[in-house]
Amino acid sequence: AQTVTQSQPEMSVQEAETVTLSCTYDTSESDYYLFWYKQPPSRQMILVIRQEAYKQQNATENRFSVNFQKAAKSFSLKISDSQLGDAAMYFCAYRTNYGGSQGNLIFGKGTKLSVKP
């Protein structure tokens, strides 16, 4: 069974600085997707960035980028130029690409990010 581990329950970053959130996962599969979701306080969960396992190039979305190390089963999220609005719970999630999963996600326990002005 696949597992997702986020080893940092809480992180803090100064506004305009850069922060990296860690995520490791365990799987025997080679074809899968990885996601970072953001859940601001009292607001809905939204997708930040996704990475397909077969793509070697790290995904980037504006200030958000990932460092995907497939052999190491590591999928960290880097937030550059942190803004107050980035304060949220961040969840790393895994999704198999093999038949039968029906899109089910396996979530890590989350990292609570605080941004200091």
Partner 1 sequence: DAMVIQNPRYQVTQFGKPVTLSCSQTLNHNVMYWYQQKSSQAPKLLFHYYDKDFNNEADTPDNFQSRRPNTSFCFLDIRSPGLGDAAMYLCATSRVGAHTSGSNKGPYEQYFGPGTRLTVT
- Closest contact distance (angstroms) between CB of 32 and partner 1 is 10
As measured in angstroms, the least distance from the Cβ of 77 to partner 1 is: 15
Q: Is the dihedral of CA 9, 71, 94, 66 positive or negative?
A: positive
Of the candidates 5, 15, 97, 116, which one interacts with partner 1 according to CB under 8 A? 97
**Token duo for residue 94:** 């895994």
**Contact (CB, 8 A) for 86 and 12:** no
For residues 29 and 58, the answer to whether their CB atoms sit within 8 Å is: no
Binding of partner 1 by 89 (CB under 8 A): yes
How is residue 31 annotated by DSSP? S
> Which listed residue (47, 60, 69, 81) binds partner 1 by CB under 8 A?
47
In the complex, which residues of this chain contact partner 1 (CB under 8 A)? 31, 33, 35, 37, 43-47, 50, 52, 89, 91, 95, 97-105, 107-110, 112
